[in-house]
Each structure stands twice: as C-alpha cells, then as structure tokens.
Amino acid sequence: MADTKYIFVTGGVISSLGKGLTAAALGTLLEHRGLKVVLQKFDPYLNVDPGTMNPFQHGEVYVLDDGAETDLDLGHYERFTNVQLTRLNNLTSGQVYQTVLENERKGVYLGKTVQVIPHVTEEIQKRIYLMAEQSKADVVITEIGGTTGDIEGLPFLEAIREFALDVGTNNAMFIHVTYVPFIKAAGELKTKPTQQSVAKLREIGITPHVLVCRCEKPLDKELRAKISMFCNVPLEAVIEEKDVDHSIYEVPLMLQRERMDEIVCRHLGLNTPQADMSQWREIIRTLIAPSHRVRIGVVGKYIGLQDAYKSVYEALIHGGIANDCGVEIVRIEAQEIERHGAEKMLSGLGGILVPGGFGERGIEGKIRAAQFAREKRIPYLGLCLGMQIAVIEFARNVLKLERAHSTEFEPRSPHPVICLQEEQKLVTKKGGTMRLGRQPAQLLMGTLAAKLYGAFVIQERHRHRYEFNNKYRKSFEEAGMVFSGTTPDGKLIELIEIPDHPFFIASQFHPEFQSKPHRPHPLFRGFIAAAHLAMHQKPL
Ligand code: GLN
C-alpha cells in the first residue's frame, strides 16, 4: 500500500517486558488520533500455532473470530484497540517454514537453493505487505516475539531490516522495548543491558528510533541522556515506561505523557490531532478509586501462572468497570479444594468462576466448587470446561447419577453427560481440530442470558471438543436446569442456567475473548453485579 506506515516493535534484555502491551497501548493512542491501525505478532518458535502448547510454556491461547489459536498478545491488541484480527495477524516460524517447504516441494523455487535469506525472509515480508493490503490500515504495527539476540529471531529481524529499506525510512520505524533494572545494592538504575541490547540490534543493521525503557523507578534526566548517547537515540525518544501502579490500562496514558505518539507521528509524517483520552481516563479513574468492591474466586489448574487465564482476569476487571466496582481476584488451585474442602477454600467470596481447561488434574476440586456455589447460592460463572463441570455436578448431586462424568476424564462413565460429538470422534490430529472460533447461538426468551445480552442471537468464540450429551436434556430440564442458549439448529447446548439461584450461568463458549475495558462483556457485567449483591446484600 502506497502510504501505509510500518512500526516494528522488538524487545531486548529479557522476555516478559510487556512488548505486546506497549504495542497495544501505542495502538490505542494512534486510534485516538483518528488513525486506522492494525497489529500483528511474529513469533519465532517452530510450533505452527500456540494451540498445541501447554499453558506452562505459553500462557493462555487466545482465540480469534475465525478460530485461529494465537498468542495472548493478540488479546491485548483486541482489548486496547478496535482492530479486527484474523489468523493473518499471528505468524510463527512454524508457519513460515511450512510454506517455504511446501513451495520447495511444489517446485516454486525453480531449482534454486532454498535459503533463510532470501526465501524465509521474503515469506515474512509478504505477510507484512498482505496485512497492509487487507486491513487498509494507516499504520501496521508488527511486534517481533522473543528477545534480541535469540538465534531463532534472526530471520525476522533481517526481514524487517530489509523491509524498512524497501518502503523508505520515513515510512518505517523501529521501537525497541528494553529493560533498565534497578540494582538494590547499588541503589541505582543500570543502563548497560540496554546499551548492549541496542548494540546487538545495530549489529544486525537496525537502529531503533524510539527506546521504551521498562523500569521500576523513574528514569531521571541524566540516565535518559546517557541512554540517548550510548544508544544513538534522540533524547526525547528515550521513553520511560514504569511498572504501572494499578492497571495495565494506564500504559497508553503513560506513553502519551512521554509524547510517544507525537514522536511516532512526526517521524512517519502522520499529520494528526492530539489524542483525546478523556474517556480512557474515566476508565482508569474507576479502576483506581471504584465506589464498590467485590471478591471473586477463580478456580483453575494453572493458578500460579500469571498468564494462563489472562483474558478471564481482564474480563472480570471489565465487568468491574461496568459496575464502578473494584474486583479482587482470588486465585484458587482446584486441587487445594480437593485437599482442604470447599468451605475452607471458598468462603467469603462474592462469586465463583471456573474457567476453561483440559486434562484431569483438579477436576474434582472444580466440581466441588460448582456444588458449593449452587448449594450456598453464591453467584457462579462457568466458562467452557466450567460449564461442563457445572453439568457434571448437577448430574451427580441433583439427578443422583452416580459417577456422571465427561468422557474426556472417564471414557467408561455410566452417565457420560458430557461427551464427544460424532465428528470429533474421527479426529486424530491435535493441532487446530477443535470446534473453534465465532459461531452464532440462539437464546431462550425470558432467561437470565437473554436479559444480560439484551438479544436473542449472539456470536461467541469457541475452543472445545466435548459437548453436553442431549440424551440427558429432558432429565436436566425436569430437575430445574434451563438450557438458555443453543446453536441455531437447537442441537448443541451453548448456555445453561439455574433460575432458582441468585446467579448461576455457564457457557460452552469463551465470552472472555470479546470483552474490552470500554465494552465490558454482558456476562461478566452481570456476574460482578450479582457478586456484589451476594457480598454486600445491596444492589449496585
Ligand atoms: N476440555 C474441554 C473440551 O475440550 C473444555 C475445553 C475448554 O475449556 N476450552 O471440550
């Protein structure tokens, strides 16, 4: 595209610096300047997508409308901006090599030796052009995963170096997110790792135009001057990005205070008005000083991991924003419930949420959490596996179907209330074979779901193999469960609820993937309101 501008975000020194957040926050600012922005992530690992990776390896797998299983940074992109993401927005080395090797087998390279440069790098560049063409965005922000100096990241860095040359220096820009550690013993911030990481980039031929310095303490003028000189970056483009005090949603405001959007627009020749962030500031105000507070327990299996339930935690916070309510999230390891009992682990909560998951560990603990919520009349929100858990619990304890289970965990259960759909029984490959992505569901009039959504047809994202077993539909209904959402053909259950309860609802889909701070998801909004009522006995 002739006048598209390109921003590349790289990372230095260590991983987990929040490159994705920085890229997303820049996206927020540029959108508020009236620009059309698109964000994409390049991941140097060889997995074709992160769908096959364990959360311990990778954190959450973020699902897009089109069913792509992607890196969790794409979740930041969608939450911070209004971009429409598809599988094109996440490219991995695995995909690049898959394409190059398929091309080689087809004879596309006409007898040439197939090499990293130019064949792999060209494939990477094609994706950047394609993104620009398809999105018709003014600015394409591309984040390169990993840390500068990683061997597997080299082809990507080479590709973007050449790319910038191709489109011209005023049309492309490099932003390097780096770390300035505070050394306690010396009582000082240290700039050396940043200097070295920039040196590494320059070795490859990339000179960053902006340095975003992640730090725990403020970066004073002297340090900025030192970084500027040693790294060959203008002083004003040495940006401080301190750890946030309250919320990640402060990052766009922090970057704006540092004039990052102004510097970017000036470099790229984008003549745009200042970003009006007043609405965003209002969101932050609610987050910092909410009028109400509520405590929510999330019962999962990867509770120790910061990132495993990222979108769930964020959506809870959004539900809080909608209710002017601060959400304290209590992370509860499901196995701890098995060890210490539900009463001990779950008392004092306003609401209980069981998120999605795979594998047997902690299942019984989750079932006891759902039972506790149902019997003690505590608001419950179940997501995907959290819905299946609620179904199993209801079968065992209300319908008295002993050993009722999902065939995922007990293939020979006498009461397989959750089981595989016929077409899933034929699937043998693991990657990308689940029921994935955005699908319509129809809601039943007069239900909690219909009330919360204010609609009868909804579109939600899925990522699962197992389903409610329709053989049991009638007995569940007779015992008081309502199937408030189904696929339009009525065949698959999408939402369940228990009307004789303050708030008990669970979905086979993942509503957390569609929640934004400025557009909280209705299920989370309703859940937080109900949890507040349960904790404080007064409505919001
Ligand atoms: N393991 C369950 C299934 O495959 C639930 C999946 C999930 O929670 N995402 O159906």
Read off φ and ψ for residue 336, nearest 5 degrees: -65, -30
Q: Are 131 and 140 in contact (CB under 8 A)?
A: yes
Q: Which atom of ligand 1 is nearest to the CA of 358?
A: 1
Question: Which residues have a catalytic role annotated?
Answer: 384, 510, 512
Q: Are 51 and 95 in contact (CB under 8 A)?
A: no
Report the separation in Å between the CA atom of 387 and the middle of ligand 1, taken as the mean of its atom positions. Answer: 9
Report the separation in Å between the CA atom of 42 and the middle of ligand 1, taken as the mean of its atom positions. Answer: 27
DSSP 101-149: HHHHHHTTTTTPPP-IIIIIHHHHHHHHHHHHHHH--SEEEEEEPS-TT
Cis before residue 517, ω within 30 degrees of 0?
Answer: no
Report the separation in Å between the CA atom of 272 and the middle of ligand 1, taken as the mean of its atom positions. Answer: 45
**Cα atoms in the Cβ-side hemisphere of radius 13 Å centred on 68:** 20
Vertex 432, ends 158 and 150: CA angle to 5°? 25
98, two tokens? 């898959």
Q: Are 467 and 420 in contact (CB under 8 A)?
A: yes
DSSP annotation of 516:
B
Q: How far are the Cα atoms of 25, 167, 283 from residue 88, in angstroms, in the given order?
A: 21, 21, 31
Closest residue by Cα to atom 7, ligand 1, is: 356
DSSP annotation of 246:
S
pLDDT of residue 333: 95
Q: How far are the Cα atoms of 88, 94, 281 from residue 258, in angstroms, in the given order?
A: 32, 37, 16
Q: Which residues contact 2 (CB under 8 A, 6 or more apart)?
A: none
pLDDT of residue 452: 97
Q: Which atom of ligand 1 is nearest to the CA of 510?
A: 9
Q: How far are the Cα atoms of 178, 185, 482 from residue 453, in angstroms, in the given order?
A: 42, 54, 16
Report the separation in Å between the CA atom of 466 and the middle of ligand 1, taken as the mean of its atom positions. Answer: 6
Vertex 60, ends 54 and 65: CA angle to 5°? 120
DSSP annotation of 1:
-
33 SS3 class: coil
Report residue 11 CA to chain centroid gap. Answer: 19
Read off φ and ψ for residue 6, nearest 5 degrees: -125, 130
Closest residue by Cα to atom 8, ligand 1, is: 356
Separation between Cα atoms, residue 531 and residue 327, nearest integer Å: 10
Pocket test for ligand 1, best of 381, 466, 468, 493 (most atoms within 8 A of CB): 466
pLDDT of residue 47: 86
Per-residue pLDDT tens over the stretch 28-87: 999 999 999 999 999 998 888 777 777 677 788 899 999 998 888 899 999 999 998 999
Show the low-confidence residues of the chain (pLDDT under 50).
Answer: none
Residue 458 burial (10 A CB sphere; 0-12, 13-18, 19+): buried
Q: Which atom of ligand 1 is nearest to the CA of 383?
A: 8
Closest residue by Cα to atom 1, ligand 1, is: 358
62, two tokens? 């973020």
Q: Are 81 and 280 in contact (CB under 8 A)?
A: no
Report residue 274 CA to chain centroid gap. Answer: 28
Measured from CB, residues less than 6 Å from any atom of ligand 1 are 356-358, 384-385, 408, 463-466
Pocket test for ligand 1, best of 54, 299, 388, 410 (most atoms within 8 A of CB): 388
Q: Are 295 and 348 in contact (CB under 8 A)?
A: yes
Strand-pairing partners, residue 462, are 437
Q: Which atom of ligand 1 is nearest to the CA of 386?
A: 8
- Identify the CA nearest to 523 among candidates 501, 498, 500, 504: 504
Q: Are 178 and 163 in contact (CB under 8 A)?
A: no
pLDDT of residue 425: 66
Report the separation in Å between the CA atom of 227 and the middle of ligand 1, taken as the mean of its atom positions. Answer: 48
Q: Are 192 and 25 in contact (CB under 8 A)?
A: no
24, two tokens? 């997303």
